[in-house]
Amino acid sequence: MLKWLQMLAEYNHWANERLYEASSKLSDTQYREDRGAFFASMHGTLNHLLIGDRIWLSRFVGGKNEPRELDGILFESFQDLWQARRQEDARIKAYIASLDEPKLTATITYRTTRSPTVIEQELGPLLVHFFNHQTHHRGQAHCILTGLTGEAPSLDLFVYQRETGDSIIRGHGNLSRAPERRPG
């Protein structure tokens, strides 16, 4: 499992860079426009992704300063948010690199954000949720980009694997870095 989590940490950074690069081409109006996504806009969605990562990483390391508002805005400036995203991705990779297999079966105890429920859970499955949560909201961001521009970068894990060679035994797939375009 540890090898997969290390791959997911690298993939997370790769996907976020692609997403932020594409988002950097939006006008400020487009970036902040309510597109009907769960966190309304690209601005809200990207901030939520960072909030979620900070909440979970704080829980994983036993921190006490996790954000309390899931829809909060940590950074108004896109460039500041991107810089914070890069720093968080580096923290995530360093944290995953610090783990060993026995730590993945250890438990952590945390209080849920939406209610005062105390949960004790194995770390490994929580890390799977952590990376899945990022993919879920990046999918929403992908939809926002596609709706605004008609295209968005591919964020598929297999594209990452083929570009980097991670877990590939033979071949590379001849993938293009061209964005995905909405059909029709």
pLDDT of the residue at 180: 65
In which element (H, E) is residue 122 found? strand 118-122
Q: What is the pLDDT of residues 75-84, one digit of tens each?
A: 899 999 999 9
Backbone angles phi, psi at 171, to 5 degrees: 85, 170
pLDDT of the residue at 173: 60
Domains of the chain and any CATH numbers: 2-181 (1.20.120.450)
Q: What is the pLDDT of residues 44-77, one digit of tens each?
A: 999 999 999 999 999 999 877 666 778 878 889 9
On the 0-12 / 13-18 / 19+ scale of CB atoms within 10 A, 21 is: exposed
Q: What does the DSSP 8-state code read for residue 119?
A: E
- What is the percentage of the chain residues whose pLDDT exceeds 70? 91
- Of 174 and 143, which is predicted with more confidence? 143
